[in-house]
Amino acid sequence: MQTLASLKKSSDAYSFGFLDAFAKRELRRKILKAVAIPGYQVPYASREMPIARGWGTGGLQATLALAGPSSKVKVIDQGSDDSVNAANLRRFIARMTGCDATRDTLECTILQSRHRCPEERLKRGQVLVLQVPDPETLRSVEPNMTRARLMHADQDYGLMWLKLYEQLVRFGRFVQGASYPSLVNGRYVMSPSPIPRWDVPTLHQAQHLTILSAGREKRIYAVPPFTRVEPLEFTDEFFQVEEQSDWTCDRTGQRYKFMNEIPETDGTARHEISDTGYADKLIQKKEGEAVTLGETYYDDNGTFYHDGFLKS
């Protein structure tokens, strides 16, 4: 009798890492170029992947081009290891490269993520791969991509500040919640993928390499370690992260970590730490298991771990 398992081709039928040698070589070259020009969007020939465009094909290709047999890969989606998207990608990467999968941020060598950065600090040698739906941060102010590229070339970013000006005039504060435009290394303004504002400071002077890859838009860009990533702000109106100081995690009792808000039937809401890998470790620790908790970007008083640029 035929089963799904018997119909499945063995992984030997594919090249290592699913992509053919030329695709991997191209990706690695383009990643090197992206690292050499921080924040610059390098075009690349995004290949067809066995998942649909828009489901992380960009991040997947970058991960597959970087992963080797000794890599340890963690995949998260909105902070969660368990979502269908993250589980599928993790299984696919593990099957195609033979590398180990992990849920521990401290252990992984490659962390592919959609919409979040982990709470625990990534270290030297680790790579954060972010899935990007729309790499072009100028699209909201200049719909014509040819002109937007000229604006990048001329460093003509005044209109991005006009967008912020409009938010201040209409709402009295910056209302951009995700993809907060940030100036990389004082040169290119990039979209840091739809991570919340909470995560943007973690890219600034980070020890790890960040690769941002947009599969549908065929653009890859990077933030090398120890590079300035400054969210756009005025000299008298500052960038701020989300205000969640009076929220407490229901599972762990922690505060000052990025929370998911879970609505209740009675109209109230409870909150849970969005980074499930970290929350699970906190619970294991409480139950007396031997787990190592890494240092976090925000400490228990909500203070960021370096002076950076968070101003009150």
Partner 1 sequence: MTVFLNPNAWQPAPPRLIETAPILEVKGIQKRYGDIQAVANVDMSVYPGEIMGIVGESGSGKSTLLRMLHLEEPADAGSYKLNIDGWQDRELLQLDRFEQRKLRVSHIGIVYQHPHLGLRMHNTSSGNVAERLLVAGERTYSTLRQAAVSSLAASEFPLQRMDDLPRHLSGGMQQRVQLAKAIAMEPALLLLDEPTSGLDVSVQARVLDTLKSLQQQQKISTVLVSHDLGVIRTLADRVMVMRGGHVIEAGLTDQILEDPQEAYTQQLVHAKL
CB of 11 closer than 8 Å to CB of 96: yes
CB of 127 closer than 8 Å to CB of 105: no
Please list every residue from 183 through 242 that binds partner 1, using CB under 8 A. 234-237
CA–CA distance from 186 to each of 20, 37, 60, 182 (Å)? Answer: 36, 11, 29, 9
C-alpha closest to that of 190 among 152, 238, 163: 152
The first and second tokens of residue 300, run together, are: 């228990």
Smallest distance, Å, CB 134 to partner 1?
Answer: 19
Using the minimum distance from each CB to partner 1, give the nearer residue, 154 or 266: 154
Using the minimum distance from each CB to partner 1, give the nearer residue, 49 or 229: 229
Smallest distance, Å, CB 153 to partner 1?
Answer: 9
Using the minimum distance from each CB to partner 1, give the nearer residue, 174 or 247: 174
Size, binding site for partner 1 by CB under 8 A: 16
Question: Rounded CA gap, 295 and 213, in Å?
Answer: 27
Residues contacting 255, CB < 8 A, separation 6+: 245, 247, 248, 249, 300, 302
Please list every residue from 113 through 152 that binds partner 1, using CB under 8 A. 150
- Please identify, among the stretches 3-11, 76-84, 162-170, 239-247, the one whose residues bind partner 1 according to the rule CB under 8 A: 162-170
Task: State whether the Cα torsion 35-36-39-44 is positive or negative.
Answer: negative
Smallest distance, Å, CB 156 to partner 1?
Answer: 7
Interaction of residue 170 with partner 1, rule CB under 8 A: yes
Q: Which residues bind partner 1 (CB under 8 A)?
A: 150, 154, 156, 158-159, 161-162, 165-166, 168-170, 234-237
